[in-house]
Amino acid sequence: MIDRSRRARAFTLIELLVVVAIIALLLAVLLPNLAAAREQGRRAKCLGNLKNIATGSVLYAQEDAKNMIIPMHAGIWQNQWAFGNYLWWRLAGPASFGGRTAVQPVGNINNLVDPNGPWAADTRPLNRYMFTGGISKQDSARSAWEMYMCPSDDGFPANPKWCLDLMIANNAAITAEVYEKRFFDFLGNSYRFNYCGLIVPGPPVQGLFTSAMLGGRYSKIDKFSSRIVLFTEPLFYMMTVPATNLDPSLAPLMGTHRVVMTDNVVYVDGSSRATRVGALARFDSNLLAQMGYGVPAPYDSYLRRGTTWQMDAYPAPGSLIRGFSGTGDLCTPNVIQALIGNPTGWPGKPYQDNTRRN
């Protein structure tokens, strides 16, 4: 005889719905935390990349005949417009210290993806120093390139108010094409060197003067500074452009790692950290006088700082970077005058001139 009192009891519909609701609630709570944890891991990997790049650059400087802390691609001082026009100057130039040959063309600028062209991996100076086993022109998948790839690299957001056409390509069609493309794909590098200064444009560019690390000797800088920026993610640089940073009408920009107005930075002392940009510091005449600022140019050209960071390498002297076309020096006295005037103090008096070709 069957004991019907011991028959298994089924769940009711209400009980099932309660269980489903509890699971949905748990997922709603846990998934954002899981996504945040994944992004935190990517951020840590990115900081490690920047630290490795900085370490390699310091070693490079110690063996470089001119002791330059930023490995300088030939395109910085050669006929730059042959290297990619405006997009070159704003984006490819600052990424040219290292990285792979780009794999995704932009507009009609094909020399970035040419394995035998001026931007190929074997033309980038930090590559030549660090990869002693040689660089294959065709090896776009080489694992060593991972050092130059941020795992959260999504390129510039399609935000023309923050990511200005003037700061990208000076061509609306090309700029629009660049949005939301990985820097690692169309530049070969997710990172850029620190730059703060002025240029005398061309084509070709005749010269530039920088108060930051580009063109500077490692022996001249404060090697223990945890404020002076060495390498950054590109969005960090965009966040520091005065025209946008000081515009109160703009909503804050989200950084590469989904944190407002924050991106990863490595500093000259080798430390790396997620850095909040904040509002740019303002300098009054008394403070400028105390610093010995002596160049008749808008100070934002040579002084760009936040609470915990600075683009300029003060008190290290500024650096003149000459433009060359073939063997001819295009940086005439008139060009130097246009860049720094008759300097009475920092950053133009004295200044470094480490790019002479004689």
Q: If 0-12 CB within 10 Å is exposed, 13-18 middle and 19+ buried, where does residue 312 land?
A: buried
Q: What are phi and psi of 222, to 5 degrees?
A: -80, 100
Evaluate if residue 157 carries a pLDDT over 80.
Answer: yes
> What is the C-alpha separation between 47 and 34, in angstroms, rounded?
20
Query: Domain span at residue 347?
Result: 13-353
Proportion of the chain above pLDDT 70, given as a percent: 90
Q: Is the dihedral of CA 150, 185, 203, 298 positive or negative?
A: negative
What's the rounded mean pLDDT across residues 58-80?
Answer: 90
Is 1 part of a structural domain of the chain?
A: no
Q: How far apart are CA 333 and CA 9, in angstroms?
A: 95
Does residue 178 sit within a domain?
A: yes
Q: Cα–Cα distance between 214 and 229 in angstroms, integer?
A: 11
Question: Under a CB-based contact definition with an 8 Å cutoff, are residues 135 and 89 in contact?
Answer: no
Q: Are 201 and 240 in contact (CB under 8 A)?
A: no
The dihedrals phi and psi of 231, each to the nearest 5 degrees, come to: -130, 150
| 33-52 confidence digits (pLDDT tens) | 666 778 889 999 999 999 99
Within-domain flag for 149 = yes
Query: How many domains is the chain built from?
Result: 1
Judge contact between 72 and 100, C-beta under 8 A. Answer: no
Dump pLDDT digits (tens) for 301-314: 999 999 999 999 99
Dump pLDDT digits (tens) for 324-357.
887 789 999 999 999 999 999 999 999 999 987 6
* pLDDT at residue number 22: 84
Instruction: Summarize the confidence of residues 13-38 as an average pLDDT.
Output: 77
Residue 184 belongs to a domain: yes
Q: Which residue(s) pair with 298 in the sheet?
A: none
For residue 310, the 8-state DSSP code is B
With respect to residue 240, please indicate whether it lies within any of the assigned structural domains: yes
* Residues in contact with 189: Cβ distance below 8 Å, sequence separation at least 6, in sequence order: 95, 96, 97, 98, 99, 100, 148, 183
- Whole-model pTM: value is 0.88
With respect to residue 4, please indicate whether it lies within any of the assigned structural domains: no
Nearest CA-CA partner of 193 in 84, 321, 336, 281 = 321
Max avg pLDDT among 30-34, 108-112, 150-154: 150-154
Q: Are 300 and 242 in contact (CB under 8 A)?
A: yes
Confidence tier at 53 by pLDDT (50, 70, 90): very high
How many other C-beta atoms are found inside a 10 Å radius of the C-beta of residue 4?
Answer: 6
Residue 81 domain-assigned (yes or no): yes
pLDDT of 137 > 90? The answer is no
Residue 64 has pLDDT above 80, yes or no: yes
Mean pLDDT over 16-21 rounds to: 83
Residue 247: is it exposed, middle or buried by C-beta count within 10 angstroms (0-12/13-18/19+)?
exposed
Q: Is pLDDT of 219 > 80? A: yes
Pairing mode, if any, of strands 229-232 and 207-210? unpaired
Average pLDDT over residues 251-278: 96
| Mean per-residue pLDDT over the chain, rounded | 88
- pLDDT reported for residue 17: 82
Q: Mean of the pLDDT values across residues 142-170? A: 91
Q: Tell me the backbone φ, ψ of residue 79, rounded to 5 degrees.
A: -70, 90
CB 200 within 8 A of CB 109: no
Is the pLDDT at 97 greater than 60? The verdict is yes
Burial 79-108 (b: 16+ CB within 10 A, else e): bbbebbbbbbbbbbbbbbbbbbbbeeebbe
Which pLDDT value is given to residue 78? 82
In a domain, 3, yes or no: no
Lowest-pLDDT choice from 48-52, 147-151, 197-201, 210-214: 197-201
What is the structure's pLDDT at 164? 92
According to the model, what pLDDT value does residue 84 have?
66
